[in-house]
Amino acid sequence: MGRARIALSGVRREELGPVLVAALFFFCVLTALMLLRPARDALGMQRGIEGIRWLFIGTAVVTLAVNPLFGWLVARFKRLQFIGATYGFFVLCLAGFWALLRFTPEAVGQTSGQVFYVWFSVFNLFATMVFWALMADRFTSEQARRCFAPVSVGGTLGAIFGPWLASQLARPLGTPNLLLVAGGFLLLALSCAWWLVRLAPDRAGPPADAPSTPARATGPERIGGSAWAGLWAVCRSHYLAGIAAYVLLMTVVATFIYFTRLQMVAATSEHTDVRTATLGQIDMWTQIAVLALQLALTGRIIQRFGLGVALALLPAVTALGFVGLALYGSFTVLVLLEAANRAVQRGITRPARETLFPVVSREDKYKAKAFIDTFVYRAGDVVGAQTEGMLGRLGLALGGLVGVVVPLALVWALLGLWLGRAQALQARSRSP
């Protein structure tokens, strides 16, 4: 209880209701995702590590194709309508996968496993992106600094609860029925979105530099604009391009860690169930580390040292972790590296990165953010996967990775510091 009070210490009394609903919303989203993630990774490994590299390319292509569709939804429908359409589509997909596993299990093989891998990778990004876009829309920049840390705790609890729930329900219900359980949590998340929109009123006025849209044309709830507006906004704005570059570098390095983990797990066993259990245990202990960090430090670091330091912390921790992995090269060190990377990324960097968006226009909160958090993110996966594979083919392995990661981390950290200052300037320019 003491640590929970610390996490909520920056939240004002009138903000407590929206923050708790937002935390419950994120809890439901992450529970649904983490119910399915270990199975996704295990299914993807059926054709080996090289197969996953090609799946990353397929995921990036599908993500790019889906972006204009999401942009069209944002432009044409009210906020709760396009959020409901997004989550509703994913629930229908889960029902379809459930029917395939339940009624035609003989049709399930490597190809269907790859389809599920790509689908889940797209679903994973859009589900969390829609959540954080709504957060940036409902909270001011000043509120985000204080409130996004406790909101993130709700997601971390869901990320711990999801694997635990899967381990408890897999035998009595069977793996196919877990898809329906995940769909149920997505429907609960949608209910929380409806509740949050009614609890947290619209903030008055768009940013000073936001493109004006006549109210009579779009209505107060419709955003309007082009389906590709997010891409053009990133190209026009140095600030949004900086966020995109930060996300790109982050995902390139995270992909290095991901493939290093897959290779070590693949070496432990060839059995899918054993690999799934191992990956699930890594996820669970990593999320416990994330929770401890969020309860103890996240809000304090952002408020005391600023966004720039919070954003620069992840590159520093990652570079040190790779140096340690290159020196010792054990599975234990890898787990520590991944736990530290995810703990800082989800416990500190993610709330800090989301605080960058409340200062942009509402259209950019949904469209530019969607482009950055989905396609740019997956493009970083592709670059990281192909670079790691090339270094492996050259026989450089971990030593080669360290030579790439350390310079990238330096640029990445400097970019984080710049974004922290740029966000402060944007926030001051919006102040009356």
Tokens 């069209």 belong to 72
pLDDT at 272 (0 to 100): 53
Which burial class, exposed, middle or buried, applies to 270 when counting CB atoms under 10 A from its CB (0-12, 13-18, 19+)? exposed
Amino acid type, 71 = G
What gap in Å lies between CA 45 and CA 261, rounded to an integer? Answer: 12
pLDDT at 234 (0 to 100): 92
Q: Which of 185, 123, 138 is nearest to 15 (CA)?
A: 138
Q: Map the chain to HEC letters.
A: CHHHHHHCCCCCHHHHHHHHHHHHHHHHHHHHHHHHHHHHHHHHHHHHHHHHHHHHHHHHHHHHHHHHHHHHHHHHCCHHHHHHHHHHHHHHHHHHHHHHHHHCHHHCCHHHHHHHHHHHHHHHHHHHHHHHHHHHHHCCHHHHHHHHHHHHHHHHHHHHHHHHHHHHHHHHHCHHHHHHHHHHHHHHHHHHHHHHHHHCCCCCCCCCCCCCCCHHHHCCCCCCCCCCHHHHHHHHCHHHHHHHHHHHHHHHHHHHHHHHHHHHHHHHCCCHHHHHHHHHHHHHHHHHHHHHHHHHHHHHHHHHHCHHHHHHHHHHHHHHHHHHHHHHCCHHHHHHHHHHHHHHHHHHHHHHHHCCCCCCCHHHHHHHHHHHHHHHHHHHHHHHHHHHHHHHHCCCHHHHHHHHHHHHHHHHHHHHHHHHHHHHHHHHHHCC
Contacts of 151 (CB under 8 A, 6+ apart): 19, 22, 23, 26, 135, 351
pTM beyond 0.85: the answer is no
Tokens 């971390």 belong to 156
pLDDT at 61 (0 to 100): 87
Each residue's pLDDT expressed in tens, for the chain with a length of 432 residues = 444 454 455 678 888 889 999 999 999 999 999 888 766 665 655 566 666 777 778 888 888 888 888 888 888 888 888 899 999 999 999 998 888 877 776 666 666 677 888 888 888 889 999 999 999 888 888 888 888 888 988 988 898 888 788 878 877 877 778 889 999 999 999 999 999 988 876 554 444 444 434 333 334 456 766 667 888 999 999 999 999 999 999 999 888 887 777 676 665 555 555 555 666 666 666 767 777 766 666 556 776 777 888 899 999 988 888 888 777 766 677 777 777 787 788 778 888 899 899 888 888 888 899 899 988 998 988 888 888 777 776 666 656 677 888 899 999 999 999 999 999 888 877 655
CB half-sphere exposure, 215, CA atoms < 13 A:
3
Q: Which of 39, 332, 17, 67 is nearest to 200 (CA)?
A: 17
pLDDT at 275 (0 to 100): 54
Tokens 């768009």 belong to 206
What gap in Å lies between CA 262 and CA 406, rounded to an integer? Answer: 22
Tell me if 230 sits within 8 A of 370, measured CB to CB.
yes
Task: Provide the CA 415 distance to its chain's centre, in angstroms.
Answer: 19
Q: Which of 249, 279, 264, 260 is nearest to 419 (CA)?
A: 249
What gap in Å lies between CA 400 and CA 383, rounded to an integer? Answer: 15
Q: Which domains does the chain possess?
A: 10-201+224-430 (1.20.1250.20)
